[in-house]
Chain A
């Protein structure tokens, strides 16, 4: 079933269609929320709010545009609001510690943890662009649609976000150093996407 037909059935009050829509987009929305908020419980609550707002304003959706970026826009806005509320409240725990790693995977390296901490320190719009590009694997055009910004702006923000992340890594002494000539062996990167 296409997104358009699904939305029309949802607007007619079909509960099965509503469930289908939630199940179709919940993984995306939850992953985005976890990556932006860095807090699993907050991400669950934010995802629930996102779907409530999606169904509340579903009749405003322009059928000529894709549905996924529209829902992701709502998700990014909700996460932004959530971060704003969180910044006004004292935080008793460290958020990064609340995100469990995949149990089957190896523990993340120091560099990966450093990047995660550096991303956490980015300003909101840079962090959104960084997460959407490097963690969600979206293209510049998709990010521009989600954030309702020009592609050039998205590229600029991502470039600055990378610079800031690298600067933080350098200050923390986490920038990888080239191995000596004897054991010089360029690692073969493995892309998960």
Chain B
């Protein structure tokens, strides 16, 4: 109620009444009351508000808002033309969408079948199944203890040779004439199969090569064979 209404010291009731008239809650005639005539401030405010209300009514009445002649006849063809255009553009959008969907489907199908026919032979299981298949027991290579030992030995020998060569390299630069004797790598041994599991399986010829020649040595050997259980001979008497 600040700027529009109380420029003068009008009574609050009068200001509320003017606001109610402006909001069309009361007719304009409600402003003409006894207090409005008696109170000078309220009388001025009521007069001013009445003038403004009258002007607002005149403002609404003075504008020429009469429709042009045959306005609907002009509007209807425009609406129909717009509907035809809209329908055509909608059909175009649907065709474009259908073409895009078809292209996407064809692309997906091509990618799928290309991958399927280029990576697997006909009749064989798919690649993923082959890679995940568990190998059979017959395909598993046997693990030989001797082969493992030989591999360890060769690795250790290689490491020793390399370390020795690196250690001697500065010394060779100081003594250019002292060419070290080339280290000949040992001939690799072919891994032997673990044909024996216990000493009982050792051949007779190999055992005979181990037999001692002296009597004390023979006794000691016999004692050893008896202790380990390979000899059926009676315990010698000392």
Q: Which residues of A contact B (CB under 8 A)?
A: 15, 18-19, 22-23, 26-27, 30-31, 34-35, 40, 44, 47-48, 51-52, 55-56, 99-102, 105, 108-109, 111-112, 115-116, 119, 134-137, 139-140, 155, 159, 162-163, 166-167, 175-176, 178-179, 186-187, 189-193
- Contact present for A30 and B4 (CB under 8 Å): no
Of the candidates A23, A56, A99, A159, the one whose C-beta lies within 8 Å of that of B72 is A23
Q: How many chain-B residues does the 8 Å CB contact rule pick out?
A: 43
Give the residue name and chain of the A residue nearest to B24 (CB).
A139
Assess the A22–B75 pair: CB atoms within 8 A: yes
CB distance from A188 to the nearest CB of B (A): 8
Residues of A within 8 A of B32 (CB): 186
Q: Cβ of B61 and Cβ of A105 under 8 Å apart?
A: yes
Q: How far is the CB of A42 from chain B (nearest CB, A)?
A: 13
A40 to chain B minimum Cβ distance, whole angstroms, is: 7
CA distance A116 to B61 in the complex (A): 12
Contact assessment for A192 and B46 in the assembled complex, using a CB-CB cutoff below 8 Å: no
Instruction: Say how far A4's CB is from chain B's closest CB, in angstroms.
Output: 20
**Does any Cβ of A come within 8 Å of B218's Cβ?**
no
Please tell me if the beta carbons of A115 and B57 are within 8 angstroms of each other in the complex. no
Q: DSSP majority for the B interface?
A: helix
- Interface pair B79/A52, CB less than 8 Å apart: yes
Given A162-B4, A176-B51, CB of A40 within 8 Å of CB of B57:
no
Given A102-B61, A108-B62, A187-B50, A115:B75 Cβ within 8 A? no
Bound-state CA distance A28–B79 (Å) is 18
> Whole-angstrom distance between the alpha carbons of A100 and B64 in the complex?
6
Tell whether, in the assembled complex, residue B76 and residue A31 are in contact, meaning their CB atoms are under 8 Å apart. Answer: no
What residues of A have a CB within 8 angstroms of the CB of B4 in the complex?
Answer: 159, 162-163, 166
Which residue of the partner chain, among B24, B47, B76, B83, contacts A186 with CB atoms under 8 Å? B47
Q: Which residues of B are found within 8 Å of A56, using beta-carbon distances? A: 82-83, 86
Contacts of A163 in B (CB 8 A): 2-4
For B43, list chain A residues within 8 Å (CB).
178
